[in-house]
Chains A and B, each alone.
Chain A
Amino acid sequence: MRLLLVEDDRLLAEGLVWQLGKAGFSVDTTPSAREAVVLGEQEDYRAVVLDLGLPDGNGLDVLRKWRTNHVSCPVLILTARGDWQDKVNGLKAGADDYLAKPFQTEELIARLNALVRRSEGRVHAQVKAGRFELDENRQSLKMDDGVEHTLTGTEFRLLRCLMSRPGHVFSKEQLMEQLYNLNDSPSENVIEAYIRRLRKLVGSETISTRRGQGYIFNAIP
């Protein structure tokens, strides 16, 4: 499995190359952001370990460049700053996981393996309806003006269900079946609450109510 390690601390990089190699990865390593951008786009890596504080640039910018150029391999970011906002920003920029320094090599390897497993068999799937684009991997909603909204799990599942068939009327029961399994027993008010929240994101004209029947997603261009 080819892996790219972007890390500017030579001692740490050398140690990691050795340990990752033992764990079955064949590792390319670079200390510079510029080189990382090129390598990520040219080579086909199964996973990337990206340090955020690089001497010639910010790791997040590297990540954003990859993602805009459709480099879709899973990326784990290493950060020395344990700030929650940093973590959110990292994931928003397109990372799949983060690890705060210092870390144990076993944990890094375990996380990498999990990432690779997760990415296997995942098709880069996007549901498009009207002005909206639902990114399944990132569980987020993209507007036509480029703004990305983060969604919680249920919001995402509900919206995916509605957007999969624009113009189709989904009854509350159908939506509940999609959202919950047999063990849960949510009330129908829950659906209404989620619909209300989704309407705040997409606009109330996009999801309309058919009285007594259910909800429709209108794909307005």
Chain B
Amino acid sequence: MRFLKKPASVKGTLLALLLPAGIGLMGVAWLVHGLLLDRMSREFVESRLKDEVVFLEHQIRDANGEVDTLQTGDYFQDVFHHAFAIHTPEQTIISPDTWEPLLTPLIENEEDGTVRVEDAETTDTPLDILAYRKSFQVGETPIVVIVSEDLGALKRSQAALHAWTAVVSVLLIMLLVAVLWFGITMSMRPVVTLKAALKRLQDGVISRINVQSPEEFHPLVLQLNQLLDSLDQRLERSRDALANLSHSVKTPIAAVRQILEDDTRPLDTNLRRQMVERLSDIDRQLEAEMRRSRFAGPQIGKSAYPIKQARDLLWMLGRLYPEKSFELSSSLPEDTRWPIEEHDLNEVLGNLLDNAGKWSSRCVELSVEQGSGFKRIVVADDGPGVNHKDLASLGQRGLRLDEQTPGHGLGLAIVRDIVTRYEGKISFSTKSCSGLRVSIELLR
């Protein structure tokens, strides 16, 4: 059965399954047909023998038991196709004569009904006969009548019929194979068109798969097209990002280079400061675009271990801020998996924790929960918190609320972008003397 588990081709598997099954069923049908034929013909012969015995009995009764007056001989042999024996105490008539050794024992047997004699040890007689014996009395005379038929002849004609059935069966099997082949080829045709469509897609002839596919293939085609869409989107995004980047980076580079190449111009403090500013701009732009382009967004087949990653990040921040305590609160097992790309989750956790670490006075707590249909990440610190009016603008692009703690103010914007990409929600809240609390809820 191994070949069933790992089919090399659908067509091959179907044929390998259906063909032996078809042949087997046909064979069984043929055998059953043979058995039924055998039984039916026997029953038919039996009933005919009975009829003839009744007919003979009737004749004998009409003749008042005078068996001699019956027109035996030619007449009976013409009317009867069977051998028969009539026995009275006075005489025994057996026709044809050659059957005598077969029928005599039956007369003496004294048992009425159907009798079958096989492999009779006599010569010149059939080997296999069916006989019907009946004894009755006409007046005072007991009479025994036996009619019998040669089953061998019947069997021979039956065998011929059976052989013909076999021939018809073989023909039917061949027809079945043809129909199967046709059916499989027909039902596999969408796969062929799909294959052709993929080939054309690869060659760039078409940009999306648009074939009439049967219901079973709809999800496949849909997934493929979605994959193509996301690839296109990614390409477009990265092109946009690169265009933006090159626009915002080339200008400051040109300015700085122009100043450096001009050796007649003295490099005073003001100029240096300006150049440093330009370079910082370049760095900021690079950093922002690179981090944006690095995150993947929801992807099929990607998952992350939130607890393991959170633990590593908390440990790292604990080492970087040795005077602060970074705690994990979660009841999820270590090997919990979330359908988020690993790097994306790291970026979310890392930025939130780093931010909290910068602002907290002593303690940062990360809690990771999941329930039916939602996953939640909450990062809370015990720092000064944020003004209520500023809460809504947290994480907006290019906005920094502080100027003292180093950083680009980019972290929260990145987190916000990633969460949006995963169709999640991010919310900020602050309570008096409890710092900022960032809550992220993912619904996937």
Q: Which A residues have a C-beta under 8 Å from some C-beta of B?
A: 82-85, 87-88, 91-92, 96-98, 102, 107, 118, 138-140, 150-154, 193, 200
**Is the contact region of chain B dominated by helix, strand, or loop, or is it mixed?**
helix
Contacts of A151 in B (CB 8 A): 315
Closest chain B residue to A200, Cβ basis: B334
A102 to B291, CA, bound (A): 15
Q: Is the CB of A152 within 8 A of B316?
A: no
Closest chain B residue to A137, Cβ basis: B319
Contacts of B406 in A (CB 8 A): 107
Q: Is the CB of A87 within 8 A of B316?
A: yes
Q: Is the CB of B319 within 8 A of A91?
A: yes
Asked whether A118 and B322 contact (CB < 8 A) given A82-B291, A152-B328, the answer is: yes
Q: Is the CB of A150 within 8 A of B311?
A: yes
Asked whether A85 and B311 contact (CB < 8 A) given A102-B283, A107-B406, A154-B325, the answer is: no
Closest chain A residue to B320, Cβ basis: A97
| B343 part of interface (Cβ distance < 8 Å) | yes
Contacts of A98 in B (CB 8 A): 320
Tell me which of B294, B325, B331, B350 contacts A153 (CB under 8 A): B325
Q: Is the CB of B343 within 8 A of A83?
A: yes
Digit string of B321-342 for contact with A (CB within 8 Å is 1, else 0)? 0101111110101100000001
A152 to B333, CA, bound (A): 16
Contacts of B316 in A (CB 8 A): 87-88, 91, 150
Contacts of B349 in A (CB 8 A): 84
Q: Is the CB of B327 within 8 A of A88?
A: no
Contacts of A91 in B (CB 8 A): 315-316, 319-320
Shortest 4 CB-CB contacts between residues of A and residues of B:
A150-B315, A84-B350, A153-B325, A84-B346
Q: With contacts A83-B343, A153-B318, A200-B333 known, what are 5 further pairs, Cβ within 8 A?
A: A139-B318, A140-B315, A150-B315, A152-B325, A152-B328
| B19 part of interface (Cβ distance < 8 Å) | no
Asked whether A139 and B328 contact (CB < 8 A) given A82-B291, A83-B343, the answer is: no
Asked whether A84 and B319 contact (CB < 8 A) given A154-B325, A154-B327, the answer is: no
A83 to B279, CA, bound (A): 21
Contacts of A96 in B (CB 8 A): 319
A118 to B313, CA, bound (A): 21
- Can you report 29 A-B residue pairs in the complex whose CB atoms are below 8 A from each other? A82-B290, A83-B343, A83-B346, A84-B313, A84-B346, A84-B350, A85-B342, A85-B346, A87-B350, A88-B315, A88-B316, A91-B315, A96-B319, A97-B320, A102-B283, A107-B406, A150-B312, A150-B315, A150-B316, A152-B311, A152-B314, A152-B315, A152-B325, A152-B327, A153-B325, A153-B326, A154-B325, A193-B329, A193-B331
A139 to B406, CA, bound (A): 26
Closest chain A residue to B333, Cβ basis: A200
A154 to B365, CA, bound (A): 11
B435 to chain A, nearest CB (A): 15
Query: For chain B residues 245-279, which have a beta carbon within 8 Å of chain A?
Result: 279
Q: Is the CB of A139 within 8 A of B315?
A: yes
| B38 part of interface (Cβ distance < 8 Å) | no
Closest chain B residue to A196, Cβ basis: B331
Closest chain A residue to B328, Cβ basis: A152
A138 to B318, CA, bound (A): 10
